Amino acid sequence: MIGQSVYVPRLLPELESLAPGHRACIGCGEVLAMRQAFKAIGRDAIVVNATGCMEIIASQLPYTSWRLPWIHTLFENTAAVASGVEAGLKAMYRKGRYSRPDTKIVAVAGDGGTVDIGLQALSGALERGHNLLYICFDNEGYMNTGIQRSSATPYGASTTTSPAGKESIGQFSWKKDLPGIAVAHRIPYVATACPSYPVDLIEKVKKGVDTRGPAYIHIFSGCPTGWGCATNLTVRLGRLAVETGIFPLYEVENGKYTMSYKPEKLRPITDYMKPQRRFRHLTDDAVEMIEKRVAVEYYKLLEKAECQK
């Protein structure tokens, strides 16, 4: 997948389900990821969207960017609404009132709508085994409401509710492992992805929607506005997050872990952190501590994948 960049546009499906003209910031990684994801999903699909950047940028009345049937209701209930859509179609198909046997139900939400306020609804939907794909676009904070921390914000990042200061390092807790929590539900398909690796992302989304039962994909999505970085760095930062081991790419199929990409050697995390204002206050010691923990977590994951081979 590495080194394919020049061919990428020709390798990807042409289908665009999200029309241009939406209002995402320049360099938005979430909308890039969403565009890629929906190339894989096709037109026989229904989208259930949580409140957050991806909802607000594409749906201001009386316009919409969506070429798919789309519903947004609230912030924290996306997985539950998707469960209802799935159940409704299933019942109507059985009773002969709906003719498509394979309509994909795709729930999309930000990290806040997934790892925090929407976790209960998500857990319920995964546990009940609905046939749906849930995609979390993780930009590591509540960006739509002005860059507040979520439990997916990485340790040390400064946000408006975890501001760095004399008495504060910024975010005080380690990023919640939501893919791990999804795996703990013993669902058939879990994966991580990043729009900096579009072919990988699209393949995973394809697998996700073709899975019978619940699938969960956690997509690391750069946010120049929230991270305080140049707008042309989104794709590069995604790659750096993967190459430093901060956001490893992997799949878990029926409990079996597979690494999608293994850098020969982890890059120093400063390569990733330096261009971002949210990490600028961190001391060398803090960075070193973070780097060590990143490595520990990365090798733990690698070991899981290795020992299952």
Ligand X SMILES: Cc1ncc(C[n+]2csc(CCOP(=O)(O)OP(=O)(O)O)c2C)c(N)n1
Q: Residues interacting with another protein, by CB under 8 A?
A: 43-46, 48, 55-56, 59-64, 66-74, 76-77, 79-92, 94-95, 97-98, 100, 103, 120-121, 123-124, 127-128
Strand-pairing partners, residue 218, are: 136, 192
Task: Kindly report the three-state secondary structure assignment for every residue of 222-267.
Answer: CCHHHHCCCHHHHHHHHHHHHHCCCCCCEEEECCEEEECCCCCCCC
**Which does residue 111 touch among another protein, Mg ion, ligand SF4, none (CB within 5 to 8 A, set by kind)?**
Mg ion
Q: Is the peptide bond before 62 cis (omega within 30 degrees of 0)?
A: yes
Query: Which of the stretches 104-112, 176-184, 203-211, 297-305 binds Mg ion when contact is defined by CB under 5 A?
Result: 104-112
* Residue 142, binding choice from ligand X, ligand SF4, another protein, none, Cβ under 5 to 8 Å by partner class: ligand X
Smallest distance, ligand X to C-beta of residue 53, A: 3
DSSP annotation of 280 reads: T
Question: How many other CB atoms are there within 10 angstroms of residue 128's CB atom?
Answer: 15
Minimum distance between the CB of residue 101 and ligand SF4, rounded to whole angstroms?
35
Q: Identify which of residues 131 and 221 has a Cβ nearer to ligand SF4 in the complex.
A: 221
Which residue of 47, 209, 219, 223 would you call a contact of ligand SF4, by CB under 6 A? Answer: 223
* Rounded Cα distance, 72 and 68, in Å: 13
Tell me how far, at minimum, the Cβ of 53 lies from another protein, in Å. Answer: 12
The single residue among 25, 199, 286, 287 that binds ligand SF4, judged by CB under 6 A, is 25
Residue list 134-163, contact with ligand X (CB under 6 A): 137, 139, 141-145, 150
- Distance, CA of 28 to CA of 176 (rounded, Å): 23
Pick what 24 binds: ligand SF4, another protein, ligand X, none; C-beta below 5 to 8 Å, kind-dependent: ligand SF4
Verify binding: residue 24, ligand SF4, rule CB under 6 A.
yes
Residues 6+ apart with CB under 8 A from 305: 250, 257, 258, 259
Burial of 265 (0-12, 13-18, 19+ CB in 10 A): exposed
Provide the pairing of β-strand 168-169 with 133-138: unpaired
Contacts (CB under 6 A) with ligand SF4, residues 30-89: 30, 53, 57
Q: Does 243 bind ligand SF4 (CB under 6 A)?
A: no
CB of 234 to Mg ion, least distance (A): 14
User: Residue 65 is encoded by which pair of tokens?
Assistant: 């960017």
Residue number with the shortest CB distance to Mg ion?
110
Rounded CA separation 144/56 (Å): 8
* Residues 238, 195 contacting (CB under 8 angstroms): yes
Residue 28 binds which entry of ligand SF4, Mg ion, another protein, none, CB below 5-8 Å type-dependent: ligand SF4
Per CB under 5 A, residues contacting Mg ion are: 110-111, 139, 143
List of residues contacting ligand SF4 (CB under 6 A):
24-25, 28, 30, 53, 57, 139, 143, 223-226
